[in-house]
Amino acid sequence: MNLSFSHSWLKDFLTTNANPEQIANCLSLCGPSVESLTKVSHDYIYEIEVTTNRVDCLSVMGIARELAVILPQFGFSARLKNDLYQPSGSLPVGKSFPLKVIVNHQLCPRFTAVVIKNVTVKPSPKNIQSRLELSGIRSLNNVIDISNYLMRAYGQPVHVFDLDKIKSKMILRSSKPKETITTLDGKTHILPGNDIVIEDGSARLIDLCGIMGGLNSSIDHQTKNVLLFVQTYNPANIRQTSMKLTQRTEAAVIFEKSPDPELVMPVILQGIEIFKKSTGGEPGSQIIDIYPNPTKPKLIFPPLQLIKERLGVDIPAEKVKKILSGLGFVNNKVPSWRNNDIAIPEDLVEEVARIYGYHNLPSRLMAGPIPTNYPDEKFDLEYQIKTLLVGLGLTEIYTNSLISESLAKQSGFKLTDHLKIKNALSQDWLYLRRSLIPSHLQALANNPQAKKLTFFEITHTYHPQPGQLPQEKLELIISTKDSYFHLKGIVDTLFTKLHLPVSASLTPATAVIDLKPILKTARLYPQYQPLSSHPSIIEDLTFTLPEKTYLGPVINTIKSTHRLIKSVKLSKIYQQNYTFAITYQTMSKDLSATNIAPIRKTIVSLLKTKFKAKLVGKL
């Protein structure tokens, strides 16, 4: 959560000779990060990012405490003042609390409230107004402003009710599903159930606890008697309610992180003081404090050895103690405001290390043994395939793994056999694709001006397996607007380079290759062929083939006719006439016409029988 407040407010809690720029810089290096520092007339505004584990820093006082420890590390003087945890002020005596209170302790670990009587609702004093405004909080009136002021100053959300609107009792309980409440922003909510609510004597809900007060019990210009109300709540309930109703108020965001219950009493006492000064009101009752299970302090001992190991630096025990006590760790106890954040010795390592300064630690590479337990992958070969294809003129593209329903339907797999997304951001990204072809055809179509465009991509397709994670199949796709002749040429070249027979799923515009088996068997170099000292003979034979004859089997038939045939290439096509260039080679003797003639005859008769091919010309 981001927190804003002014430098002048910070000075209420911190005496220092550091200026705002220095404060911002030092804080960011050792504590919460200052996102921005803005100068405004005679003041500055800090905007600070507080991480979820530091609820104690969601306040001006919390940040001041950090700075009191951090700034001296940089040579500045700094002292925390007006620390609310140092008790001062006395509990008001007087009439007992006027309402009957029934509290569910599971939902509300600490319930405190006090009556402030005879308030005059009017605008807040100027300094409170300006502090709130500079912190991004709207100033409304002196009563409501006090609750926001206390929240920002101490990190404890506070609520104020118009006491006279509450009928006889307050029952703090769990809501039932479908109960309704209209909050003070005018919105009416239908509650999901298990929300923390307060019901009064007239059986209406007067508060959506920890999130927002009810409209029916809210402060207005006629309010004379106020109920000042400070609690802590079960963080899980607060989080659930605020998420389900999408009411992410500042109070909710603080409560779900478990603020310190020990802060409640000092805050309500401070509240009383501000009420006196700002509204003319006076305490009208004793403070009711229902706190059956006070938090017991946790013990934690500074792990000196662990600190030394993790920091790589021998910090003297004295310095460790000084840092920790400045942060509130005194007598080996975790301060109450860090109760949820500090549990294990490593947490103290972090406290010492960050205050000492990460920038003060050495930097060195690992010198230990290097692991050699490698997984069964061939990343280098994948990259080589990519660079080969790039060398042949292809453009690599990364298309989305998530596709629309229409692309999924074009894949050749049933729509229902695709893994579907439950909370898709858009209908375009609804299914995990099982085929790369529709995405690529779309990508090609989106570039109408590039007539010979050829794309490629190496990525996964996702195939559901009941009860298990899907199979993530690594595939290479080559897709083109150029001819099939061109596409096949690329495929043939690729497999030649890998020294493998062609193994691909082919359509006129796409070639899809299942990569895992290829990566396993591909070779970077073939079986070496000793050079032949006998010249080879290359001869052309032209055949007329019937329409719709598959060329692959024809070429294979010619090649397998005789072992003297080293290779067969299709060299020319003219209408239905196909010219094959046949290379004859032997290792042992020179070839002559006598060797070749019978082979030629066999080829002609085989092709005639199997494919009804007619030789063009004479033998």
Residues 6-35 that bind another protein (CB under 8 A): 28-33
Shortest reach from residue 126's CB to another protein, in Å: 33
Q: Which of 342, 147, 143, 112 is nearest to 232 (CA)?
A: 112
Question: Which 50-109 positions form the footprint of another protein (CB under 8 A)?
Answer: 51-54
**Applying CB under 8 A, what is the total number of residues that bind another protein?**
86
Nearer to another protein, 131 or 418 (CB): 418
Closest to 497 (Cα-Cα) out of 385, 378, 396, 392: 385
Q: Among 400, 503, 556, 605, which residue sits at the site for another protein (rule: CB under 8 A)?
A: 400
Task: Please report which residue ranges of 97-141 form alpha helices under DSSP H.
Answer: 126-134
Distance, in Å, from the CA atom of 595 to the CA atom of 102, rounded to the nearest integer, reads: 110
Does 155 bind another protein (CB under 8 A)? Our answer is: no
Using the minimum distance from each CB to another protein, give the nearer residue, 29 or 101: 29
**Residue 114 per-residue DSSP state:** E
Q: Decide whether 298 or 460 has the Cβ nearer to another protein.
A: 460
Report DSSP state, residue 445. H
Measure the CA–CA gap between 62 and 80, rounded to whole angstroms: 10
Mapping DSSP onto H, E and C, the string for 322-355 reads HHHHHCCCCCCECCHHHCCCCCCHHHHHHHHHHH
Q: How far apart are CA 475 and CA 247, in angstroms?
A: 45
**Left (φ > 0), alpha (ψ -120 to 50) or beta: where does 548 sit?**
left
Smallest CA-to-CA distance from 193 within 205, 209, 177 is with 177
Q: Which of 12, 43, 347, 405 binds another protein (CB under 8 A)?
A: 347
User: 27 vs 113, which CB is nearer to another protein?
Assistant: 27
Q: How far is CA 405 from CA 17, 153, 228, 466, in A?
A: 64, 52, 56, 21
If one asks whether residue 540 binds another protein (CB under 8 A), the answer comes out as no
User: Taking CB under 8 A as the rule, which mask of x and - marks residues 172-201 in contact with another protein?
Assistant: ------------------------------
Out of 316, 371, 412, 501, which residue is the one contacting another protein (CB under 8 A)?
371
Q: Is residue 270 within 8 Å of residue 150, measured between CB atoms?
A: yes
Residue of 81, 333, 414, 420 interacting with another protein (CB under 8 A): 420
Write out the DSSP string of 486-553.
HHHHHHHHHHHHTTS----EE-SSEEEEEHHHHHHH--SS----PPPSSPPEEEEEEEE--TT--HHH
CB of 42 to another protein, least distance (A): 24
Residue 338 is given by DSSP the state: G
* 588 makes contact with another protein (CB under 8 A): no
Among the listed residues 190, 317, 424, 570, the single contact to another protein using CB under 8 A: 424
Polymer length in residues for the chain: 619
Q: Any idea of the CA torsion for 217, 220, 224, 226, to the nearest 10 degrees?
A: 50
Q: Which is nearer to another protein, 203 or 366 (CB)?
A: 366
Q: Closest Cα partner for 207 from 177, 240, 239, 169? A: 169
315 touches another protein by CB under 8 A: no
Is 443 near another protein (CB under 8 A)?
yes
Pick between residue 188 and residue 426 the one whose CB is nearest to another protein: 426
Compare residues 83 and 347 and give the one whose CB is closer to another protein: 347
Binding mask 459-498 for another protein (x = CB under 8 A): -x-x-x--x-xx-x--------------------------
Minimum CB distance to another protein smaller for 469 or for 593: 469
Stretch that binds another protein, among 163-171, 235-243, 557-565, 577-585 (CB under 8 A): 235-243
To another protein, the closest distance from the beta carbon of 486 in angstroms equals 10
Residue of 8, 22, 120, 442 interacting with another protein (CB under 8 A): 442
Q: Token pair for residue 619?
A: 């033998």
Binding track over 290-309 against another protein, x by CB under 8 A: -------------------x
- The one-character DSSP state at 183 is B
Per-residue binder mask for another protein (CB under 8 A), 259-288, x = binder:
------------------------------
CB 171 within 8 A of CB 107: no
Span from 99-107, 420-428, 505-513, 602-610 in contact with another protein (CB under 8 A): 420-428
Told to check if 383 binds another protein by CB under 8 A, we report yes
